[in-house]
Chain A
Amino acid sequence: DTGVSQDPRHKITKRGQNVTFRCDPISEHNRLYWYRQTLGQGPEFLTYFQNEAQLEKSRLLSDRFSAERPKGSFSTLEIQRTEQGDSAMYLCASSPTGQGLNTEAFFGQGTRLTVV
């Protein structure tokens, strides 16, 4: 396994269009996270899945944003009616569960979204 994979790496879209990003976590990692990172800032938490259940959502995740993880494996993040303020790097991460296992998350390289 080569790590967390995100697709696409770059996306340019016109304002008002919908976009969807995909994340494939490390195999057998039950936990999956989405973060957003803008220039000069640290990653900001968006949402968290354990298996297929979305257990935590940030206030940053407005009603234009939706995330799914239908089979507990890959996840998608959709942004509807994109705005210029949505331009950012969207990061996906995964981590294993279980007592005594490492709690750090492993990050993908991200999808850079530019809304024009």
Chain B
Amino acid sequence: AQSVAQPEDQVNVAEGNPLTVKCTYSVSGNPYLFWYVQYPNRGLQFLLKYITGDNLVKGSYGFEAEFNKSQTSFHLKKPSALVSDSALYFCAVRDGGGYQKVTFGTGTKLQVIP
């Protein structure tokens, strides 16, 4: 069975500071990893993904994530946080073996303080 853990319910960061939102995963095969963001009253929006290749992937709005196979982690990062980044962030994983089911974490609320 595949699973995702987001250990922090909420992350607070000052505007302009770097941010990290943590994610660890478990799959039996090769992982396909995703980050989505959810703003209030809006649907989930895709930020970035790791399928294969470079461990550092870049996505929308200046976000990036680092895949670490040995630590089974896929942490989301941004060098300089904006107040508009405040939202709910979800990490997700799919087993690359062919099934389409994507398993999401419970989400981390990011609060960027002006």
Chain A positions within 8 Å of B, measured between CB atoms, are 4, 31, 33, 35, 40-45, 48, 50, 55-56, 58, 91, 93, 102-110
A108 contacts across to B, CB distance below 8 A: 43
> Taking CB as reference atom, which chain B residue is nearest A32?
B100
Q: Is the interface of B mostly helix, strand, loop or mixed?
A: strand
B32 contacts across to A, CB distance below 8 A: 103
Chain B positions within 8 Å of A, measured between CB atoms, are 4, 32, 34, 36, 41-46, 49, 51, 90, 92, 94, 99-107
Interchain nearest-CB distance for A109 vs B (Å): 4
B51 contacts across to A, CB distance below 8 A: 103
In Å, the complex CA distance between A91 and B43 comes to: 8
Contact yes or no, B102 A45, CB < 8 A: yes
> Taking CB as reference atom, which chain A residue is nearest B32?
A103
> Taking CB as reference atom, which chain B residue is nearest A103?
B32
Question: Given A43-B44, A43-B104, A103-B51, 9 other A-B contacts at CB below 8 A?
Answer: A4-B43, A33-B102, A42-B104, A42-B105, A56-B99, A93-B44, A104-B46, A106-B46, A109-B43
In Å, the complex CA distance between A104 and B50 comes to: 10
**Which of A41, A105, A110 gathers most chain B CB within 10 Å?**
A105
A-B contact pairs, 13 of them (CB 8 A): A41-B106, A41-B107, A42-B92, A42-B104, A45-B102, A48-B100, A50-B100, A56-B100, A91-B44, A93-B44, A103-B49, A104-B34, A107-B36
**Which of B4, B41, B51, B101 gathers most chain A CB within 10 Å?**
B101
